[in-house]
Structure 1
Amino acid sequence: MLKSLRHVTVAAAAVLMCVLVAPGATAAVRQSTGTTPAAIAVPPLQEDPAPRGANDWSCKPSAAHPRPVILVHGFGAPAAGHFSLYSPYLKAQGYCVFTGTYGTLKDVPLVNLLGGFQSIEYSAAQLDAFVNKVLAATGKQEVDLVGHSEGGVMPRYYIKNLGGAAKVHSFVSWAAPNHGLTISGLYTLGQKLIPGLDEKILPLWPVTSQLTNGTGFLDRLNAGDETPGDVRYTALASKTDELVTPYTTSFLTGDNVENITLQDQSPKSWGEHMSLAFDPAVWKITDKALQRN
């Protein structure tokens, strides 16, 4: 009962974060809406503070782990907190690890330390620049990406529209809302109770509208080939995810994707949405995915 209540509370908080936006935050996000990727001038993502093990720019990938790994956080998170355990774990395995906080609102107090608030196009342009920086530092031609939640959708835009298909070897997503979400029914309920939710309210907060599919952004992203390029895709989802529901919305179609349900490989994993980033079972599945040839 307590777990169920916590799920509803977390989901409700997510909805409130998306809808109750400070005017300054709304203006900051809206300025990138409707632009083409080439027209977006974005600042670099925030590299500091970084989680332990990440952003050692002298690190050179080994023969055992020949590509640098870039970690991509989810909505409303700072990279340092989101990957506070996973980054040092990867580093201990011998990987070169890099990450940063994308999509921040620098003029909004408190929120300016968190990320994922800008539009997908804006954040993907930041990721593009960061990938190029990592490749230049490591002397490699490809990176591996691991993304959680929004961080599992935004890189797909980068891969499909910004040339990322030529620079990404493997892409592992955790609980990505690839085909929209219902937030345990709260979003569906909101559509019924709040007139103009999709047309008037959520578009004030573009990334939210994009992830719920209210604007058709995901329809466009998924049109044609959902797994473009010669990228090895792995889509991991949890049956007990309370935010990205139904959990099968995370799965992708294509010959080069492996769709994995967490509980099929780790029956004891509870798999709440945020806890995936701290679940050793998820890390082990990701280890295997990163080693795909």
Structure 2
Amino acid sequence: MEHESLYRLGVFVGVMLLMMAWEAIAPARTDPVGRPRRWRTNLLMLLSGSVLLRLLAPISLVAIAGWAQQHDIGALYLIDLSFSVKVLLAIVMFDMIIYWQHRLFHQIPWLWRLHQIHHADPHIDSTSGLRFHPLEILLSYGVKLVAVLLLGAPALAIMLFEIILNASAIFNHSNIRLPARIEWPLRQIIVTQQMHRIHHSQRPEETNSNYSFNLTVWDKLFGSYRKTATKTDQELDIGLVQYQKPEQNSGLGYLLSLPFRRQKP
């Protein structure tokens, strides 16, 4: 779609600046590493992933969805539904697909080698939502590409979904704590910071829960929802216990090579 990149960039920058300002004014937890060092590494991880994706997959998912839309490719074009319903249905279906993608990245060992870079962060804030290995970003593109073609998602739905995906990642990783009167009702619909911090706990049974990135219904429907952690949100131990040294969790070269190193138990 025309101006797709501008729309996505505008929302991304706006949400990022808003959450960074909120974190600076009222942080929920203290950063054990220091913001400059962590932010630099996490932003460089995003940059390296974006460069790899641009080189190996230069055609955007929105453009591919537009092509499929023109040729009536995909399951949604076999169903007589209004365009708005198709857009809404596609967004919800992609939300579920990313839930299962995330869950499989935890359960399949070679996929976990890539995804552990995200969990090796000893603190989570808005930049943690950008911290993914470039190969994981490339694989995620492949999953979404197949889904676009099989589902026949309208181009508008894919653009809106990508905006929601990026904004949600920044929002639910942000280092803030919503008041209980807001947080509990809100998490009945979307993933909140306290719900997602449980997913970043050092305890494996807590790490392997709360996989949803936007709608919480998938964790509840597929039995992976965890309401509370063993420790309070303030006391929760974040990150992977085997990667707590500064050079392991904030060195770009180390993180890029981590999936190919001998794995620590």
Do Structure 1 and Structure 2 share a fold, with TM-score over 0.5?
Answer: no
Bigger share in strand: 1
Query: TM-score, length-normalised on structure 2?
Result: 0.31
Higher relative CO (CA 8 A, sep ≥ 6), structure 1 or 2? 2
Query: TM-score, length-normalised on structure 1?
Result: 0.28
Bigger share in helix: 2
